Structure 1
């Protein structure tokens, strides 16, 4: 329902119009009256007025000035003038200001109703046009997202790979598509970042990389589009008519794009160019490109063509390296020598097109087994040494590429052998164990827990510990605890139960037994003895002064 405002400085005229017309029948639910331009403005600011019926000659601002204000602040409202003056100058100004109509008083109510009806029709039409315009803006803004969603549904096979079904969904979603269209898919994979980015920064960088793909690989909007798949993958869907897989221009654009990503975005990107397909065949081609990427462990920044990709010779079982030699080198501390041989082995496989996930993974497992064997010999717990997040991330990525494999091997070997060298200087490790014991004296600590802290086998740590201190770990802990207890008993007024708790004894009786076993007296007797000694010394000091 609409709202109408009657503005006239003559009260009788305004009220007469208000009550003479059946406004409800016209579709108007509320009728307001104002007797000056300022009053009319107040009502406009308070109510959503659709139609203004207004006199021209009024004090405190005439109708033309009011119309000018309405046009600026409430442009959707329509204005109909009612005036006693058949003045062409007034009429001309009213038209220039955009009034809907210009009626002379006294007006026939039937004529007034007819003009109001037309004004309401114009308002409805304007509203429909505005809604269409808003929808048009929405469509232009969000159509790329709708198109991307359409292709994602095809790639993930939410839309079946059937030509009629793909065409039906495209028509249903108002997506420009034809079964005769040809597409050339090109998979883009961000394989590695050379800088450490937050999750938010990664999203920003991925957006920039996608826009660059649109500019450098697709080049023009009519040449295709780029779909963001997630997890560092993009799929460029190029026009099959304009681009051919063997096109030198496409290859050059892709190589330039890879270089730009490395130089400007600090990342390695590989491009996998497929073969020309129709829309319903895109999902299958996408799957083949993913498989090509998964099988590529040799190169991080390269353009691959599906039809030209060489398949590594998997049928020939390649001999593995003799890890006993590497184990001997590692035990001897030849870290750089082992790393150099590992890198040479991988490079050789790359150059002979023999490096695949199937050949890389066994090699990594053999090296890891060799390193862990050396650690075991030295009494070091590997699962403790490499249980941190960074180590687990490097290990998880190791089979993805030669670069990731070498990063993991360098971390694995360097960390292991550096720590093993520290173990050789046992005082360093024993000192760490002693520091840990001192920090946790008020807690229940086990030999296994202390060994875990320094990444050693408990038996091996015990041997090192006794060699340096002359005591087993348990003997050292007990002696140190009772030493602290004795000091507190002799120098403080703390209760015996509080002292027992301070050094990790929850059971008072057990503490008393252990104290008596090693001190040949119970805690109370020890305290009394220490107090007597202090009194005796005090008396002796007094005698000497006198």
Structure 2
């Protein structure tokens, strides 16, 4: 920090210089001037934070200097030092914003108390100035983001300060109406994936048209991905005409169609959400198969949709997977297509639900067969590529993509089945080892490994020279022998532990396999020890 001492008496300047506790207050530079004119030259060059000034000086007195400082260097803090205990000078000092008023001869304690107070005031004010400067810079640099955030808040709750409405050019009106513009993935790809540049460009196009008519404002709706909201407060009879103009302007700029839906009129700002929700329902109800030149939708009364459920086809999907042939899926997909597009109608809402359920079902089957999936989970990435330049959904292309994905899935299953067949018998052996203590049926093994019972029986006998039921008995008896040797458990307890609920039957099986009863086996083992 810098200090300037202005006084026509040299000994006064020197005295203040000697008495001040400069270092303690962060002051590193001290300058002197003998009159107001000289002081102004130094202030212009040095811009000192603290200025001590006499009131009565030649050429330019303290009153004139304080007035100049107030107009030209208002951030500096001034302290008047004078030998005149005169109300006139005190009033002038206060008028021109002086922080304090000291009388000569200056008391060191009062001087330093005043200095500390004024330095603190300057620092607080400087921090506030910096904060405001940073805020204004951010607002100017990020005006679109700031505007979008504030207007998103407005749509969700009418709690903006009145001055913000004027700042955004938002006019008060008797009626309002919301239109919704869907920004699809193709629009963003037109700007090489730069989402921010996409919105910046399209909002400029829209707001230029709206400003021309002084009828509304468009902003990026941050609460939902891929949406621009337009709030109208005028020109209600020309809404559709204006939106057609906006639709064509976007199409001309990026060569991509963006669907637009119109909400209902509302009479208060805090009802804007009602208009937005209506527009959203209109968009979700729109027929994406309709090959119309314009994709601006308006529907005053919305008929509730009854959406079809892909999970209703779960059993047929399972049968097609078991068949393992793409032809089975082609027949099934053809059936689903006919069901979903009855009357050549497919709504946005139905497509989104269909795609979401398709991903859920696919994921279940990928997990079931332990197959790694490389399918994007972002629905917009998966459906947007199938809208043509005019915004019409290309159903056959979409079906073709689905068939390709299913074909890849079936090929992966076949590869896994071939790999499994080479070692599946040993996997079955491990399964029996893990489940020997319960009644494992051949059908259970078949279901678990997706192999026929006949194949399992034949291959198991070839590999281990024993059928599965006898192999389970072998495992059980071996476990029972270990328990008989190394524990004091009762025979019926051991029988239960190895899978026999009837200990008499266990004793019978044990003797048949080992030639001795469980008790005889235990006694023999004890004697050997």
Q: TM-score, normalised by structure 1?
A: 0.50
C-alpha contact (below 8 Å) 2:176/2:267 kept by paired residues: yes
Of 467, 470, 490, 2:458 maps to 467
Aligned residue for 2:295, secondary structure, equals strand
Q: Is 1:177 aligned to 2:171, yes or no?
A: yes
Of 53, 66, 70, 1:80 maps to 53
C-alpha contact (below 8 Å) 2:321/2:410 kept by paired residues: no
Match of 2:23 in 1: 42
C-alpha contact (below 8 Å) 2:175/2:267 kept by paired residues: yes
Q: Is 1:232 aligned to 2:225, yes or no?
A: yes
C-alpha contact (below 8 Å) 1:184/1:276 kept by paired residues: yes
How far apart are 1:120 and its partner, in Å?
3.8
After superposition, the Cα gap between the structure-2 partners of 1:234 and 1:523, relative to the gap in structure 1 and judged at 3 Å, is farther
Taking the TM superposition and a 5 Å limit, the aligned residue runs for 1:468-487 are 468-470=459-461, 476=471
Of 179, 182, 191, 1:188 maps to 182
Q: Is 1:245 aligned to 2:240, yes or no?
A: yes
Match of 2:204 in 1: 215
Q: For 1:194 and 1:7, how far apart are their aligned partners in 2?
A: 63
After superposition, the Cα gap between the structure-2 partners of 1:106 and 1:312, relative to the gap in structure 1 and judged at 3 Å, is closer
C-alpha contact (below 8 Å) 2:4/2:32 kept by paired residues: no
After superposition, the Cα gap between the structure-2 partners of 1:153 and 1:91, relative to the gap in structure 1 and judged at 3 Å, is closer
After superposition, the Cα gap between the structure-2 partners of 1:347 and 1:462, relative to the gap in structure 1 and judged at 3 Å, is closer
How far apart are 1:272 and its partner, in Å?
1.7
Higher deviation after alignment, 209-218 or 285-294: 209-218
Match of 2:285 in 1: 295
How far apart are 1:179 and its partner, in Å?
0.8
What's the CA shift string for 1:366-407, capped at 9, x where partnerless? 999xx99xxxxxxxx969628999699979999999688876
Of 450, 453, 456, 2:447 maps to 456
Aligned residue for 2:230, secondary structure, equals strand
C-alpha contact (below 8 Å) 1:188/1:272 kept by paired residues: yes
How far apart are 1:271 and its partner, in Å?
1.9
Higher deviation after alignment, 224-233 or 402-411: 402-411
C-alpha contact (below 8 Å) 2:366/2:372 kept by paired residues: no
After superposition, the Cα gap between the structure-2 partners of 1:144 and 1:231, relative to the gap in structure 1 and judged at 3 Å, is closer
Q: For 1:366 and 1:65, how far apart are their aligned partners in 2?
A: 77
Aligned residue for 2:219, secondary structure, equals strand
Match of 1:108 in 2: 84
C-alpha contact (below 8 Å) 1:217/1:257 kept by paired residues: no
Q: Is 1:272 aligned to 2:248, yes or no?
A: no
Match of 2:424 in 1: 430
Taking the TM superposition and a 5 Å limit, the aligned residue runs for 1:323-338 are 333-336=324-327, 338=329
C-alpha contact (below 8 Å) 2:206/2:246 kept by paired residues: yes
RMSD between aligned residues = 7.3
C-alpha contact (below 8 Å) 1:191/1:270 kept by paired residues: no
After superposition, the Cα gap between the structure-2 partners of 1:327 and 1:484, relative to the gap in structure 1 and judged at 3 Å, is closer
Aligned residue for 1:35, secondary structure, equals helix
- The total of aligned residue pairs comes to 434
Aligned residue for 1:253, secondary structure, equals helix
Extract unaligned runs of 5+ from structure 1: 17-32, 58-62, 160-165, 196-203, 261-268, 373-380, 490-495, 499-505, 530-546
C-alpha contact (below 8 Å) 1:422/1:429 kept by paired residues: no
After superposition, the Cα gap between the structure-2 partners of 1:121 and 1:219, relative to the gap in structure 1 and judged at 3 Å, is same
Q: For 2:356 and 2:59, how far apart are their aligned partners in 1?
A: 100
After superposition, the Cα gap between the structure-2 partners of 1:13 and 1:345, relative to the gap in structure 1 and judged at 3 Å, is closer
After superposition, the Cα gap between the structure-2 partners of 1:7 and 1:130, relative to the gap in structure 1 and judged at 3 Å, is same
What's the CA shift string for 1:439-488, capped at 9, x where partnerless? x86x9997889999x993479676543331125667657757999999xx
After superposition, the Cα gap between the structure-2 partners of 1:407 and 1:481, relative to the gap in structure 1 and judged at 3 Å, is farther
After superposition, the Cα gap between the structure-2 partners of 1:435 and 1:188, relative to the gap in structure 1 and judged at 3 Å, is farther
How far apart are 1:213 and its partner, in Å?
2.8
Aligned residue for 1:179, secondary structure, equals coil
Aligned residue for 2:26, secondary structure, equals helix
After superposition, the Cα gap between the structure-2 partners of 1:15 and 1:154, relative to the gap in structure 1 and judged at 3 Å, is closer
How far apart are 1:112 and its partner, in Å?
6.5
After superposition, the Cα gap between the structure-2 partners of 1:41 and 1:341, relative to the gap in structure 1 and judged at 3 Å, is same
C-alpha contact (below 8 Å) 1:188/1:271 kept by paired residues: yes
Of 292, 297, 307, 1:306 maps to 297
Aligned residue for 1:186, secondary structure, equals strand
How far apart are 1:214 and its partner, in Å?
1.2
Of 333, 337, 348, 1:342 maps to 333
How far apart are 1:45 and its partner, in Å?
1.0
Q: Is 1:117 aligned to 2:94, yes or no?
A: yes
